Amino acid sequence: MRASEILAPTLREVPAEAEVISHILMLRAGFIRKSASGIYTYLPLANRVIKKVSQIVREEMDRKGGQELILPIMQPAELWQESGRWDVYGDELFRLKDRHGRSFALGPTHEEIITDLVRNEIRSYKQMPMLLYQIQNKYRDERRPRFGLMRGREFIMKDLYSFDRDEAGLDESYNKMFDAYTRVFSRCGLKFRPVEADSGAIGGSSTHEFMVLAESGEAAIVYCTECEYAANVEKAEACSVDTVTPMDMLPMEEVATPNARTIEEVTAMLGVGPENLIKTLIYETEKEEVVALVRGDREVNEIKLLNVLGALHLDLAGSETVQRITGAEVGFAGPVGLKNVTIIADHEVMKMVNAVAGANKTGYHLKNVKPGRDFKPDMEADIRIVQAGEPCPRCNGTLAMARGIEVGQIFKLGTKYSKALGAKFLDENGKEQYIVMGCYGIGITRTVAAAIEQNHDQDGIIWPMSIAPFQVIVVPVSAKSSEQVELAERIYSQLLEAGIEVIIDDRNERPGVKFKDADLIGYPIRVTVGNKAVDEGRVEVRLRKTGDTRDLPVEEVVTYVK
Ligand code: ATP
Ligand code: MG
Ligand code: MG
Ligand code: MG
């Protein structure tokens, strides 16, 4: 490839709309351009990286016996109604109608459609285990698309689904995927950690998230410095409700909205029993950053307040048995015997009224609550919020905190979808059983962004070799020196012939511009062809990562790079 031909428009300025480094650098280095909020064009350089990551993923899925297929992105509403998710999924689901008025969804995930496939095609235990996967666009109408490819509304995901005859089979498939994910992210050259996560609304017994470690990560995790234990946690400070300072009361009607739902509606919507409601809401709020104001009655005995967007999620008006409130940056929850819960206001309303807390007086809230000021730390809280320095629950080690970007997640689904859609098979005894399922996602485009978050410096991106758009750039210092250009062209051809992915900067630009662009785009190796090359037959080979340079005889370049 030639730099004079490739569409890689670099920018000197930092684009105003970009907040995180991967977004800034992908715009500046000419990898992506925005089409609409959360929707991007992947320019040729980005496409090359996406293809690299996809290929690594593909090889590791295939190694475990995965079979690649392509499922429809456009999915009939009927399937989502059968699983119950048409009503539960909420605004994140893109919905559309065809000319006959039939409803469809753009797939945010593909459990329904694949369960529909296997209920027709898998008949016998002999056909399992079966692992089916695809690499394809996903659509989620995220409330806050942001950070470029990190949280898009259209993004590329690998999703694999496992089908087994029993739980033991599922365990095996799950372990295979755990191993495959570990190999994928290692091969991508990333520092990452699998962490235990909450299965929340999806249900199922076990789930891990794969976190790329980066300061900019949205997730807080704890890990043991001695053993393998690691988990996704919510940082939270314990606070006591006893120390509430007097605040304005706000009548319930002022925050109530037409979106109010009764507990029956909420539980039906989410498909969970009241005992799991809080857990599920926590999951939903964290997951989607949807803030629901919930009214609890009576037996709420522990609530953590969360503050994602400056709005508090839980309203406890009327619940006299609330004993503790804990403030937190994100997330909230409680061990719950919740009886009478009503979602009375949604996120938009909450944004307007700021933080609100239960007033322990029916029909009223406290306005403008400040966790920390209004609720003092309560050391005796029996929900322990894990902190750095605490002992590990598994060994004698100590826990430490880190931030991570969720690049993948694996789930044991069990029979949730096979039961809902009636996906059965005949076992050894000719008896009908439900297929036992698992689902496993990797955000391909998010992984590309995460790689940049983890690998960059003030000059630009530093691609790990395995996913770099090109491994080598050859730069003739002066475009006017025909000797330099000729020699550079020769080295370029030799590298090409040796099967190396190489680009030559044949543009008529000053050397400073070429070097800056090469650093910004982040090619792992730069071969500079200057006067010394022409006079002495030696070129400068520079590693982007370390800045180390060495002088090599021209004829050794190919062997060195290989
Ligand atoms: P998040 O918690 O960040 O919203 P998720 O838990 O909703 O992600 P999953 O349903 O587990 O995501 O999807 C599997 C993978 O797809 C995620 O681990 C992530 O890498 C990727 N992914 C999810 N949502 C997005 C998005 N909006 N943009 C880019 N990648 C995404
Ligand atoms: Mg998540
Ligand atoms: Mg999400
Ligand atoms: Mg997830």
CA of 205 to the centre of ligand 2 (A): 16
CA of 335 to the centre of ligand 1 (A): 27
CA of 406 to the centre of ligand 2 (A): 7
CA of 2 to the centre of ligand 2 (A): 40
Inform me whether the pLDDT recorded for 349 exceeds 60.
Answer: no
Pick from 40, 185, 409 the residue to mutate for probing ligand 1's pocket: most ligand atoms within 8 Å of its CB: 409
Task: Give 168-179 pLDDT, tens digit per residue.
Answer: 999 999 999 999
Provide mean pLDDT across the span 255-259.
Answer: 38
Inform me whether the pLDDT recorded for 556 exceeds 60.
Answer: yes
CA of 513 to the centre of ligand 3 (A): 40
User: What does DSSP assign to residue 415?
Assistant: T
Q: Which atom, in ligand 1's list, is nearest to the CA of 209?
A: 18
Q: What is the band of 276 on the pLDDT scale with cuts at 50, 70, 90?
A: very low
Provide mean pLDDT across the span 140-151.
Answer: 91
Inform me whether the pLDDT recorded for 479 exceeds 60.
Answer: yes
CA of 287 to the centre of ligand 2 (A): 6
Give the helix ranges, DSSP H, for 273-421.
277-288, 347-353, 416-421
- Nearest protein CA to atom 2 of ligand 1, as residue: 287
What number is the ipTM of this complex? 0.99
- Nearest protein CA to atom 31 of ligand 1, as residue: 443
Comparison of pLDDT for 534 and 249, the residue scoring more: 534
C-beta of residue 139 within 8 angstroms of C-beta of residue 121:
no
CA of 359 to the centre of ligand 4 (A): 35
Comparison of pLDDT for 134 and 394, the residue scoring more: 134
Residue % of the chain over a pLDDT of 70 = 71
E strands along 77-206, which residues? 94-97, 103-106, 130-139, 154-164, 192-196
Q: Which atom, in ligand 1's list, is nearest to the CA of 407?
A: 20
- C-alpha 372/C-alpha 236 separation (Å) is 11
CA of 443 to the centre of ligand 1 (A): 6
Residue % of the chain over a pLDDT of 90 = 57
Q: What is the pLDDT of residue 402?
A: 87
Q: What is the pLDDT of residue 336?
A: 27
Residues ≥6 apart with Cβ < 8 Å to 136? 70, 71, 73, 156, 157, 159
Q: What is the band of 269 on the pLDDT scale with cuts at 50, 70, 90?
A: low
Pick from 39, 288, 406, 452 the residue to mutate for probing ligand 1's pocket: most ligand atoms within 8 Å of its CB: 406
Q: Which two tokens stand for residue 427?
A: 């076992």
CA of 154 to the centre of ligand 3 (A): 12
Q: Hunting for tokens 């978050």 — which residue is that?
A: 453
Ligand 1 shell residues, CB under 6 Å: 109, 140, 142, 151-152, 155, 157, 287, 406-409, 441, 443, 445-446
Q: Hunting for tokens 């684009």 — which residue is that?
A: 15
Q: What is the pLDDT of residue 273?
A: 52
Task: Give 44-97 pLDDT, tens digit per residue.
Answer: 999 999 999 999 999 999 999 999 999 999 999 999 999 988 988 888 999 999
Long-range contacts of 485-491 (CB under 8 A, 24+ apart): 487/529, 487/533, 487/534, 487/554, 488/529, 488/533, 490/554, 491/527, 491/529, 491/539, 491/554, 491/557
Provide mean pLDDT across the span 261-271.
Answer: 52
- Nearest protein CA to atom 23 of ligand 1, as residue: 443
Q: Which atom, in ligand 1's list, is nearest to the CA of 142?
A: 27
Pick from 94, 147, 151 the residue to mutate for probing ligand 1's pocket: most ligand atoms within 8 Å of its CB: 151
Query: Coil, strand or helix: which one is 156?
Result: strand
Inform me whether the pLDDT recorded for 282 exceeds 70.
Answer: no
Total-model pTM: 0.77
The closest ligand to the CA of 152 turns out to be 1
Q: What is the pLDDT of residue 129?
A: 97
Provide mean pLDDT across the span 108-126.
Answer: 97
201-215, 276-290, 439-453, 518-532 — which is least confidently predicted? 276-290
Inform me whether the pLDDT recorded for 264 exceeds 80.
Answer: no
- Nearest protein CA to atom 1 of ligand 1, as residue: 287
Q: Which atom, in ligand 1's list, is nearest to the CA of 288?
A: 4
- Nearest protein CA to atom 13 of ligand 1, as residue: 441
Q: Kindly list the distances between the CA atom of residue 168 and the CA atoms of 198, 199, 523, in Å, as whole numbers in the listed order.
A: 21, 19, 45
Inform me whether the pLDDT recorded for 290 exceeds 50.
Answer: no
Inform me whether the pLDDT recorded for 156 exceeds 80.
Answer: yes
Q: What is the pLDDT of residue 198?
A: 61
